[in-house]
Structure 1
Amino acid sequence: MTLTCLKAQTKADIEFCKEAILEFRKSLDPEKVVDHVYQMITQEGFELVFIPNADNTKAGAFIGYRIMNLLRTGPVIYVDNLFTFSECRGKGYAGTLLDHVASRAASQGIKTIHLDSGYDLHTAHRLYLNKGYFLACNHFAKLIS
C-alpha cells in the first residue's frame, strides 16, 4: 500500500482528521476542535498533514507543525503533534509523515526540525532516533494558574 500525505486546508479536511486529533489530544472540545485547528491553519501558519487509513474513512495518522524563526537557531520546523491510530502503527505512517516534514524543511532551506516527546513513549523515541533525530535539550514548562 502506498501512503500518501495530504495537507488539510479546509474544515472538511480537518473534520476527516477530527477523530485522530481528539484521540491524541483528549482535552480538546469536540465541538470546537475543527474551528480551532482551522484558525491555527489560516492565522498562525500551522500545517496539518495526514494519511488516510486503509479504508479511507478517517485519518490513520497526522502530523501538525509550524515554521518558527528563533534567535538561537534561525528558522526551524517545530512538530506540535504526531499521532497514529493503533491499527495503523508499524505500517510506515509516522515515518512517512516525518519524511514529509523533512522534505518540506529541505525545500525551504530549513536546517533543523524540533519536537518534544513524552518520557515514556519509547516506541516513538526509537522511530525518531532511527529517522536521525537526537536528544538536543530538556524542555521545561510552567503552569500559570
Structure 2
Amino acid sequence: METVYEIKKIETELEIEQCWDVAFLLRPHLDKNKWNATIAEMMQNEKYSIAGIIDNNKVVAFAGYRKMTSLHSGNIIYIDDLCTLELYRGKGFATQLLDHVKEIALLLHKDAVVLDTAFTNNTAQKVYLKNGFELVAVHLTKRLK
C-alpha cells in the first residue's frame, strides 16, 4: 500500500528554497542563485503555485501549476512542473499531486488540467495516462537563443 503524505502549499521563501533539489532534477538548466526570485516573480505575476510533499522537513516532490485561459484548452490549470526525488519515486507521489491539482481545478470550476511532457519521458507519460490524461496535441518550440 502506498503511503499518503500531506500535500502543502509552498509559499514562504524557505519553502521555495527547499524545492530546489526536486526542481533541479527536472530543470537542470536553472540557476540556483536565481531560483527563489524566479519563483517569487512567477507567483506574483503569473498565478503560479506549488504543491509540495514533505518528508522529514524536506520537499521530496512537487507540482508547479498555474491558473490560465487559452483559446485551445479553455479555463484550465496548467501543470508546468511535476517531479519527485529519485529516492522517493514509486511511492505514488505523482498521482497524489495530480489528484490534488485536479481537486483544485474542480473547486475552481476549471475545464481541464493540462500539461506537457518530453517525448522521451516514457515513465512520466505512463503515470499521466494511468491518471486519465490523453494525448491531444504536439507541443513545438523555436528557441531564440
Question: Which residue of structure 1 aligns with residue 86 of structure 2?
Answer: 86
Question: Which residue of structure 2 aligns with residue 98 of structure 1?
Answer: 98
Cα RMSD of the aligned pairs, angstroms, is: 1.2
Letter in 2 for 1:88: Y
CA contact (8 A) 1:19 1:58 kept: no
Question: Percent same amino acid among aligned pairs?
Answer: 34
Structure 1 unaligned spans of 5+: none
TM-score (norm 2): 0.93
Work out the CA distance in 2 between the residues paired with 1:137 and 1:58.
Answer: 35
The alignment partner of 1:60 has SS state of strand
Question: Which residue of structure 2 aligns with residue 117 of structure 1?
Answer: 117
Work out the CA distance in 1 between the residues paired with 2:21 and 2:73.
Answer: 34
Q: How many residues are aligned here? A: 143
Runs of 4+ in 1 over 6 A off after TM superposition: none
Letter in 1 for 2:40: Y
Does residue 31 of structure 1 match 2:33? yes
Work out the CA distance in 2 between the residues paired with 1:123 and 1:22.
Answer: 18
Question: Which residue of structure 2 aligns with residue 3 of structure 1?
Answer: 5
Q: Deviations over 1:35-69 (max 9, x none)?
A: 1111111222101111013xx24211111110111
Work out the CA distance in 2 between the residues paired with 1:32 and 1:57.
Answer: 22
Does residue 108 of structure 1 match 2:102? no
Structure 2 unaligned spans of 5+: none
Give the 3 Å change call, closer, same or farther, for CA 27–91 of structure 1 in structure 2. Answer: same
Work out the CA distance in 1 between the residues paired with 2:53 and 2:108.
Answer: 22
Question: Which residue of structure 1 aligns with residue 50 of structure 2?
Answer: 48
TM-score (norm 1): 0.93
Work out the CA distance in 1 between the residues paired with 2:93 and 2:71.
Answer: 33
